[in-house]
Each structure stands twice: as structure tokens, then as C-alpha cells.
Amino acid sequence: MGDEECSDRRFGGCYMKGNHTKSKIKIVTKMVFCRKNEIMCGIVGYIGNKKALPILIDGLKKLEYRGYDSAGVAYIENNNVQIVKSVGRIDVLENKLNMKSSTTLGIGHTRWATHGEPSEDNAHPHISNDGNVTLVHNGIIENYQELIHKLKKHGYHFYSETDTEVLANIIDYYYKKYKMGPIDAINRTMVRVRGSYAIAVLFKEHPDEIWVARKDSPMIIGESDSGSYLASDVSAILKYTKKVYYIDNLEAACLKSNHITFYDLNGDIINKELKTIEWDVTASEKNGYEHFMIKEIHEQPEVISKTFHSYVEDDKIDFSKSGLSGDILKDINHIYIVACGSAYHVGVCAQYVIEDLARVPVKVDIASEFRYRNPLLSKDGLVIIISQSGETADSLAALREAKAMGIKTLAIVNVVGSSIAREADYVLYTLAGPEIAVATTKAFSTQLIVSYLFAIELAYAKNVIHKDKYHELLSEMNLLSNKIEDFLNKGIKSIQKIASEFSSIQDAFYIGRGLDYAISLEGSLKLKEISYVHSEAYAAGELKHGTISLIEDHTLVIGIVTMEDLYEKTISNLIEVKSRGGYILTISPNTIDVSKVSDYNINIPSTIKYFYPSIAVIALQLLGYYIAVAKGVDIDKPRNLAKSVTVE
Ligand code: BG6
């Protein structure tokens, strides 16, 4: 990397410490992050006949789970663009604003930075050199260094470390060069930039319009009698309208207070279908719970039942809405599940259930590996992408990879109209409703339900199971939400007590065999995500091949023991741990006797082996939650995490 590149550390070159003589240059991996400083943010906008600032602030608060280290708004007052930015939570911004302003038009942004301190310079909105263009952006511009050099040659200068400021200036550059108005400038910019973006733009010469465009980053546009709205996701505008439009990649729109016009990349006007959102606004409120996470944990019985009954009627599974028929299923001979984070753990559980029930081979991949592993996929295979948000970049890229290889794709997704949902061949929606807490709970549980239904329908379509087994499995699934409701009512107290005993632990190990191992992965992630305790999940039989060396007096080992056919093996693994001084906390149904090994036991309702992950995970979520509560950390917005990562 030449010195000229390193001379300006503001723009993603090497990170130099001290003077610039070669020997002192130190390339730090952080540089990669530098290019990704807009990894996940929330944008919102409004133009209409109401006061805009309260709507912007309210929307940004709803989007705070997407990023919460700095924020800003831009609004028009007396035909001038006013910009107010702040470091910290939205409350800080709200206190800085003159909320009495009568402006009825504005855009807002809440940021989540990974590199460079959150600062007012780096916070959005960003403005072009002469203030002609002001914008907010969610996503990343890959070729912004190249654009900076181009714009510098045309006399532009830069005040921030962000790729977004480049966007404001390149739009201004085309606006002035071709004098063809906003849509021409935006379309030329979309052709010129590489990367992902959802942008909302104000043009000084068009003070009664908000312009938007997107590629790969999420954006929804709302319409109501009181005006037009835009947001990164519907929870920010649900309070004002349920009538929304989804714009596709490389499309733009002009929002006026009483009209919205859509454009394609040629600048031609296009029609978009107006959709109605099923969710209601209370879904995105805390309803008296201390945290969204515990509220969403308590919503699981209801959303599990809703999701189950959205596919099962008269004791029969119906995937027809997705287009996934029995004929298609019976010809599928390979399953490839690809996902990230907790969704990947659903995939690991689904692998056990599908292979055992339908006898179809299943491979489970982490999306960020799948997309570069040049996988060998069989033509008679099906790639299943699991994602709550439907916007996780690695999962979206894996979907496109599979499609490019000519393999059928199925998406199991929670957000209607999300990119993954719209690009997959088949979609099975989960009905978890909006999930606000960064650590997923109810979406995870509904993904399990859809995975079980998929396994049962596949097994039936392939004549591996017959009617009796089919009905036996469905009737047991139909009992799950009540069993979980019951457990939530009766089990919480004992888990709170156990959690308070372990609130000062530094390390924990989760072990199990078969499906118990699969769900222990999620248990371990939940503890890590929200309480920052180091924890690992292991196949119980694997411990003695190395990791058991880490077990010493009072090391907490959480054993999930629900698989009756693996009972003895699991118990003997727990005895191995106990004999090295480990503290054993077991999670087991009362049909299984763990008294020989457990120092603490969380008793869960019994069910059929395939469905134990759905019950055990509730205990695991609560354990992680209450240990985090005891540690007093920010449960809904854990450090360094975001709800879904929309760039690679
Ligand atoms: C992470 C979230 O950013 O993305 C996890 O914090 C989630 O909870 C993972 O499991 C994958 O997200 P999604 O939306 O694709 O399921």
C-alpha cells in the first residue's frame, strides 16, 4: 500500500501512529472496519401537514436497536435546511432540538459506528460543500475512496471520516453538472457508486420534497392522509400508517406531502403496489415489561401458536401460499441450510429433525463461509435461508449465490417484504411480529416451528412417515404453546434464583448430545450476547477430547438432558465434569432423572424428542436474561451488537 494512500488516515488507508517514516507504519486490521463504519443504522423521514420533529424523534427511538451511538436530523425552516446532530442516545438529540419548530418536513438518522469515535462530524445528516444536498444513509459505499479523489479534482473537500459525506457531494456534482434535476442526479449516482445504501435526500432547490433511493439496504415508504413517511423498518412509522410501499433495488421515489412518485433507473415513472401491514403499534411498545427481551420471551406462546396455525388447518399442513407443494418437496434430495447467528442454530436443530424424520441429507452452513466456500450443491437440492430480519447481508448473498448456481431457494423469514423474502423462490413467513431486542427470542422459536413443519411435510411427501405419525407429530406441536405458557408461569422464579447465584461467573460451558447439543449452541450465545460472560457450547461426547482441561472447581456446566435415547451417555459425560469440580446445572423434563449429577435442575415440560429445543430454549433464554439483569447491563441493546447486519 503506497504512502500516498496512507497520507490521509481519514479515508480507510493504513492506520499510522507517530511520523510517517516507513518503518513505523503499522497496518491494523481495524482498517477493514474503517471501511465499514456505517454497518447498521436507522433512517426515518416525514413530509406532510403535521409537525415533523416529534415524528422523527419517535421514529428514531423505535429504530435505536439498529444503532445508538450518535444521531441527527435535518429539516426545512424558512426554506433553509437546519441540521442538528448529537453524540449518544436519541434523548440527547431531542434535548438539543427546538421541538416547538413548526417544520412539516424532515429526515433523521441513528448511527452505529464500528470505527472512529462517534462524533458530531461523523453523525448524519451529511451535507454537500455548499449545502445544496443534505442526506442520511444506511449502508456502505465500497468505492468511496475513488470517488473522493474524483471529487477533490473538482474542488470538493471533506470534513468527516464517513463514506456518506461522499454520497452527498457526488449527488451534488451530478446535479450541477447535468442540471437535470434530482432524479437524474440520484440515478447517475446509483450507476456510479458501488455498495449498499438506503438514502433520504433533501435538495435546497426543492424544499417541499424528500427524495429516496435504495440498493440492498432496507427501506419502507408509508402513505397516510397526514403525509408521506420513510423508514428503515416499519416499526418506526407503524404508529402513523399501515399502508406501505416497498421499493426495489436501484429504484427511487419523490415524497411530497400528498403524493409519492416512483422512478426506475432510467428516470421513468413506475407504479408500486400499496400493501397493508398486519402488525399493530403495541407490538413495538414494552407494555409494562422492563425490557423488550423479557416481553418478547413472554410473547412466545402466542407467536408459536399463531405461526403453527398459519400453516396447519384441519390437522393438515398447507404451504400452498408459498408455492411449496408436495410434488416439489418429494423431488428434493438434498437440503442446505444457510444462516447467521441464532438463525444458524435453528438450522443445526432442523438438521437433526429433517434427517431423522425425512431421511434427507442436510448440510448446515454459516452464511459468511458458505458464500466463499464455492459449495458443491446438488441440482435436486433446496437451499434454505433462515433470517429474522430478511436483510442480513451474508445470508442475502448466500441466497444469491445459490440462485446463481440454479438451486431452488426457500426463505424462512419474519419481515414481510424484506430483501431475502422477495428474492427467494419460496417463502415461509414466521409470525413473530416486530422483534426489537437485539438478542432474538420469539423469532428464533417461530423459526423452529416452521422448520419442524417443513420436516414433517417433507417426510410425508416422500412417504417416509405415514398419516398416524403425521397427525401424532402435529397434535404434539399443537400443545407446545400451552406447555411453554405453563412453564413461563411456573418456572421463572426458580430460574431467577439460580441466575442470581451465578451472576458473578466469568465462564460457562453448555453441553448436550444430539438436539440437546444443537440447542445448547443457542443457550451459550444468549448468555454471551447479553451478559458478556464467556461461554462455549460443546457436544457432550467431545468434551473429553480437550476442553475438559478447562473444567475446575466451581466451573459452571449447563447440561441439557432431554434426549432419552442418549440419557446414559449424557449423564456419564456430566459425571466426568462433576469429578473435576464442575457445578452442574441441568435442564431436563421430569421423565428424566438427573438427580445423580445435578447441583441445580431446571425442570421443563416433556414433549416428543424433536420438539425439546422449543421448550429447552425458553429456560436458556431466561437464564441468560436473568444473569444479565443481575449484572445490570443494557439487555435490549448489548454492546457491539446490532439486530441484523446489513453489510458484509
Ligand atoms: C445478529 C443478531 O446481528 O444477526 C442475531 O444480533 C441474529 O440475533 C443474527 O441471529 C442473524 O440475523 P437474522 O436477521 O438474519 O436472523
Kindly report, residue by residue over 474-502, the tens digit of the pLDDT. Answer: 999 999 999 999 999 999 999 999 999 99
Q: For atom 1 of ligand 1, which residue has the closest CA?
A: 644
Q: List, in order, residues 6 or more apart from 174 with CB less than 8 Å away.
A: 184, 185, 188, 189, 192
Helix, strand or coil, per DSSP, at residue 636: coil
| Res. 433: pLDDT tops 90 | no
**So what's the pLDDT on residue 280?**
64
Q: pLDDT, tens digit, for every residue of 122-136?
A: 899 999 999 999 999
Residue 178 backbone dihedrals phi, psi, to 5 degrees: -105, -10
**Once rounded to an integer, what is the mean pLDDT over residues 92-101?**
90
Check pocket membership of 235 for ligand 1, CB cut-off 6 A. no
CB 388 less than 6 A from any atom of ligand 1: yes
Residues 328, 356 contacting (CB under 8 angstroms): no
Per-residue pLDDT band for 640 (boundaries 50, 70, 90) equals confident
643 flagged as catalytic: yes
Q: Which atom of ligand 1 is nearest to the CA of 342?
A: 10
Q: What is the pLDDT of residues 246-260, one digit of tens each?
A: 899 999 999 999 999
Would you say the CB of residue 531 lies under 6 angstroms from ligand 1?
no
Residue with CA closest to ligand 1 atom 3: 644
- Angstrom distance (rounded) from CA 616 to CA 537: 14
Does residue 106 have its Cβ closer than 6 Å to ligand 1?
A: no
The alpha carbon of 644 and the centre of ligand 1 are apart by a number of angstroms equal to: 5
Percent of the chain with pLDDT over 70: 92
Residue 21 above 90 pLDDT?
Answer: no
How many A from CA of 347 to the centre of ligand 1? 13
pLDDT at 3 over 60: no
Is a pLDDT exceeding 70 seen at residue 176? yes
* pLDDT of 409 above 60: yes
pLDDT at 27 over 60: no
- CA-closest residue to ligand 1 atom 5: 341
pLDDT higher than threshold 70 for residue 578: yes
- The label of the residue with cell 457526488 reads 170
User: How far, in Å, from the CA of 75 to the mean position of ligand 1?
Assistant: 33
Task: Report pLDDT for 13.
Answer: 36
Q: What is the best residue among 366, 440, 526 to mutate for testing ligand 1's pocket, by most ligand atoms within 8 Å of CB?
A: 440
Output the DSSP codes for 468-507.
HHHHHHHHHHHHHHHHHHHHHHHHHHHHHHHHHHTTT-SE
Instruction: Please answer whether residues 53 and 96 qualify as being in contact, where contact means their C-beta atoms are separated by less than 8 angstroms.
Output: no
Among residues 34, 41, 254, 349, the one annotated as catalytic is 41
| Max Cα–Cα distance, the chain, nearest Å | 80
Decide: 341 in ligand 1 pocket, CB within 6 A.
Answer: yes
Question: Quick check: 385 and 410 in contact, CB under 8 A?
Answer: yes
Cα of 341 to ligand 1 centre, how many Å?
A: 5
What local confidence, expressed as pLDDT, does residue 100 receive?
84
With 90 as the cut, is the pLDDT of residue 287 above it? no
Whether residue 14 is predicted with pLDDT greater than 70 in this model: the reply is no
CA distance 613 to 224: 43
Indicate if the pLDDT at residue 5 is higher than 80: no
Average pLDDT over residues 187-203: 95
Closest ligand 1 atom, CA of 447? 16
Q: For ligand 1, is residue 366 a contact (CB within 6 Å)?
A: no
In the prediction, which pLDDT does 582 show?
93
pLDDT digits (tens, 9 = 90+) for 329-379: 999 999 999 999 999 999 999 999 999 999 999 999 999 999 899 999 999
- What pLDDT is attached to residue 9? 37
Q: Whose CA is nearest to atom 2 of ligand 1?
A: 643
Best mutation site among 39, 292, 340, 621 for ligand 1 pocket (most ligand atoms within 8 Å of CB)? 340
Q: Which is it for the CA torsion 350, 609, 305, 627, positive or negative?
A: negative
pLDDT at 15 over 90: no
Residue nearest to atom 7 of ligand 1 (CA): 341
- Shortest-distance atom of ligand 1 to CA 641: 6
Residue 78: predicted pLDDT:
82
- Residue 32: which pLDDT band, with cuts at 50, 70 and 90? very low
Nearest to 312 by CA among 454, 416, 414: 454
- Average pLDDT, rounded, for the chain: 90
Q: Answer whether residue 503 shows pLDDT above 60.
A: yes
Q: Which numbered atom of ligand 1 lies nearest the CA of 40?
A: 3
Q: Does residue 641's CB lie within 6 angstroms of at least one atom of ligand 1?
A: yes
Q: In the prediction, which pLDDT does 355 show?
A: 98
Q: Write out pLDDT tens, residues 41-74.
A: 899 999 999 999 999 999 998 888 777 788 999 9
Reply yes or no on whether the pLDDT at 284 is more than 90.
Answer: no
Mark whether 62 is an active-site residue.
no
Q: Which of 40, 644, 646 to mutate to test the pocket of ligand 1 (most atoms within 8 A of CB)?
A: 644
- Which residue stretches of 223-340 are H helix? 292-298, 300-311, 326-330
